[in-house]
Structure 1
């Protein structure tokens, strides 16, 4: 048993053992405050060093580069985490370093992946991952986010939609069912092949948007990024491209791991948001900077409580469910971040739907 688990067992006993580990930090009394204090202590005690000093300490991989903060340009580094995964034989399958920008608080992998080598992470049967256990509840999560951002997704009405990083086409399948003129792009050739075998009217393309003439022409009413943002090594460039692909009144829907998650603050390097292919990690505090630099007019957020909570299939008691929702609302600590970015004022007027919109211009 790890030291952290031993402390939790000493404090809470076995009363919460039946609650899934991903929900315990939200429902155990006082734990939110404890984890927030734990995270503040980590930030207070972790040294800030120059990029040159950081380079001297960390080994650079064959497809990696050292970077400064993409949100504000700060070169100083505050090393915080070292995620890794072991193979069955005990050897390291993958590992990397995550740093925090001491100026704006942005979390990112450093060294990061060279943009021209990003495809190396997805070239070998990536669809096996996308269509296995990972995919079993994906469409439920898509529907929940679509419901959270009504009325954007209620009726497609032949509006043009681009799913960036469409994978095996599970969202495109929903989009065509709802009447969108749906298109997708992805860097995994086997995923694109599988998507097109599944789809009827929607189409998936291999490559980047600029590689496909009908995508590069733009004029999209909706662009979606489902668990894609954390994979982008040049986010400002990519989001500027997304903004240019949108028609007047268009919106960009984002689902990504949340760098403010209580699970991150509780489990550190073992957080499930640190996966082999994730490069950058956003929160409500850092995402507006990205959107502003890319030319978006505003952004709205919706809290994420968890798939089973939102689907009404949770095994938590009513009291525990209410406590979980309260914890997420108080800390913006849901494990996923859901955002709707507005291309211009017309988009805000059309799709803001009375929700709080953080204006960026």
Structure 2
């Protein structure tokens, strides 16, 4: 038992033991307020540095470069975290620094990976990761998110769909079963090979969309980013590309880690969202700026309560379930960020019904 869990057990006793670990911060009395105060204290103690000052204190790796905020252009940096991964023997396997933009609050890795070197992170048997423990219950999470944004995914009806960063094809398999004319792209050649052995009508391709004529021509009704956004080193360029690839009335579905999560505020550098290949970290407060600058008309967010809670595989007493859903929906939105971006007013009119749409223009 970690020190944090031991302290929580001493304060709250065993009455929340049956609540999934990730949801306890929303249910234990006073913890949400304590974590928010902890976060504000961290921000006050972290001075904003000029880029030159920050660069003089930090070393960039061979595939990295120092950057400014992609969302607002601010050059100052507010250093916050240094996530670190360990090998089984305790040796450091990887580490990087996460900074906050003092102007717009965006969290990102700095120094960041050079865009032209992004493939270095995925070239070596990345599919072994995607098809191992990472893939467990992955399709269940996709279905839950698809349900949250119904009726976009209820029936494909031959509509064109692009899964950007398709990995080993776990979502493409669901898309073709739903009747979409589905395509995927990925930077991992072994993942693409594995995907195409799984698929029947959908196809996965290695490379960038602009290099593939059947994808570069655009006209997609749906584009999906499943746990991909945090991996993009040039998000403004990528989202402008997505906007061009979408047909009139098209939507962009995004699932990524939530930089506003109470779990981040509680666990800092040990937060589950700080993984080896993640580069940038968005929230419902910062993502609209990216979408607005890329030409999208609106965005809708769906709270994430936890896979086990939403699927019913980790049931809780009805009283606690209601309390959890209320706390998540009215605070940070959960540990994962689920968003649907609307390309234009036609998309808002066609797919926005039943969802709270935030206009961006």
Structure 2 length-normalised TM: 0.97
Residue of structure 2 equivalent to 1:90: 90
> Are positions 1:168 and 2:168 aligned together?
yes
Which residue is equivalent to 1:157?
A: 157
Matched, 1:306 2:301: no
Find the counterpart in structure 2 of residue 113 from structure 1: 113
Aligned equivalent of 2:268: 268
Measure, in 2, the Cα distance between the counterparts of 1:209 and 1:117: 17
1:129-148 aligned at under 5 Å gives the runs 129-148=129-148
Please give the alpha-carbon distance, in whole angstroms, between the structure 1 residues aligned to 2:210 and 2:293. 20
Match of 1:353 in 2: 353
Deviations 1:37-78 (A, max 9, x none): 111111122111111111011111000000000000000010
Give the superposition deviation at 1:26: 1.8
Measured after TM superposition, the shift of residue 2 of structure 1 is 5.3
Count of residue correspondences: 361
Q: Report if aligned partners of 2:302, 2:333 keep a CA contact under 8 Å in 1.
A: no
What is the distance in 2 between the residues matched to 1:313 and 1:331?
A: 24
Q: Provide the residue aligned with 1:244 in structure 2.
A: 244
Find the aligned partners of 1:18 and 1:308 in 2 and give their Cα distance. Answer: 12
Q: Distance in 2 between matches of 1:20 and 1:48?
A: 36
Mapping of 1:169-188 within 5 angstroms? 169-188=169-188
1: CA distance, partners of 2:298 / 2:333: 22
Helix, strand or coil: the match of 2:296?
Answer: coil
How far did 1:18 drift?
A: 4.4
What is the CA–CA distance in structure 2 between the aligned matches of 1:323 and 1:306, rounded to whole Å? 14
Q: Distance in 1 between the 2:5 and 2:134 partners? A: 26
Aligned twin of 1:226: 226
- In structure 2, stretches of 5+ residues that fail to align are none
Q: In structure 2, what is the equivalent of residue 78 of structure 1?
A: 78
Q: Which moved more, 1:136-145 or 1:11-20?
A: 11-20
How far 1:21 sits from its partner (Å)?
Answer: 2.4
Query: Matched residue of 1:250: which SS?
Result: strand
C-alpha distance in structure 1 between counterparts of 2:269 and 2:37, whole Å: 17
Q: Which residue number in structure 1 is paired with residue 286 of structure 2?
A: 286
Structure 1: 4+ residue segments shifted above 4 A? none
Give the distance between the partners of 2:220 and 2:29, measured in 1 at CA. 46
Give yes or no for contact 1:32–1:327 (8 Å, CA) kept in 2: no
Counterpart CA distance in 2 for 1:92 and 1:343 is: 43
2:196 aligns with: 196
Q: Give, in whole Å, the separation in 1 of the partners of 2:263 and 2:198.
A: 35
Q: Distance in 2 between matches of 1:302 and 1:90?
A: 38
Partners of 1:99 and 1:137 in 2: CA distance: 32
1:212 is aligned to 212
Aligned to 2:309, the other structure's residue is in SS state: helix
Alpha-carbon displacement from aligned partner over 1:100-129 (angstroms, at most 9, x marks no partner): 000000000000000000000001111111
1:128 aligns with 2:128: yes
Q: Residues 151 and 353 of structure 1 are in contact (CA less than 8 Å); yes or no, is this contact kept in structure 2?
A: no
CA drift at 1:6: 4.6
Q: In the aligned structure 1, how far is the partner of 2:107 from the partner of 2:3?
A: 25
**What SS does the corresponding residue of 1:305 show, helix, strand or coil?**
coil
Unaligned runs of 5+ in 1: none
User: What secondary structure does 1:73 align onto?
Assistant: coil
Cα-to-partner distance string for 1:325-358 (whole Å, 9 max, x where unaligned): 1221121240000101011101100010132111
TM-score norm. by structure 1 comes to 0.97
**Cα distance between partner residues in 1 of 2:3 and 2:78:** 24
Check conservation: 2:261, 2:335, Cα contact below 8 A. yes
- The separation in 2 between residues aligned to 1:204 and 1:2, in whole angstroms, is 42
